Amino acid sequence: MEDNYNGDDDQNKGVFRVCTESQSDEGDVVGEEELEQEVLKRRISGHPLYGLLMENHINCLKVGLGENIGEIGVTSTENDKLKAAAIPTSSDLDQFMEAYCDALNKLKEAMEDPIKETTSFITDMYAQLEDLSASKKPH
């Protein structure tokens, strides 16, 4: 078989150009997606309910980690308040933030119930053991 390659890459250049253009277009799409994500992050972090959402999230973590974790808190600064005022909110985002805060509150309550029941059970068992050991001691 005879190889017809003559060193001229006109056909290959076209393929290369298409690949390069599609990669460039894909890069633009990725860049646009990253930009949209950054805008969304700013809108969420600048939302008036963001501080409450963070507080509710931290309260869930406190329940899950116990009381030995120390003080964790969210501090709001004047800068945060100005940032929140500067970014307009949408009704969809408002509804999402409210629903997320409610869901976190319900999660916290659902996490607290078994812990309260367990603590109550352990306290009762400890009291019963104390009563048993006190009754066995000679007077």
Domain hosting 122: range is 46-136
Split into its structural domains, the chain has a count of: 1
What is the three-state SS of 33-59? HHHHHHHHHHHHHCCCCHHHHHHHHHH
102 burial (CB, 10 Å; 0-12 / 13-18 / 19+) is exposed
Considering the domain boundaries, does residue 1 fall inside one? Answer: no
pTM of model > 0.75: no
Alpha-carbon span 70 to 55, nearest angstrom: 15
Considering the domain boundaries, does residue 28 fall inside one? Answer: no
3-class SS at 21? helix
With beta carbons less than 8 A apart as the criterion, state whether 52 and 102 touch.
no
pLDDT in tens, the chain (139 residues): 444 444 544 444 444 444 444 444 555 667 889 999 999 999 999 999 999 999 999 999 988 887 666 665 545 444 455 444 545 557 889 999 999 999 999 999 999 999 999 999 999 999 999 999 888 766 6
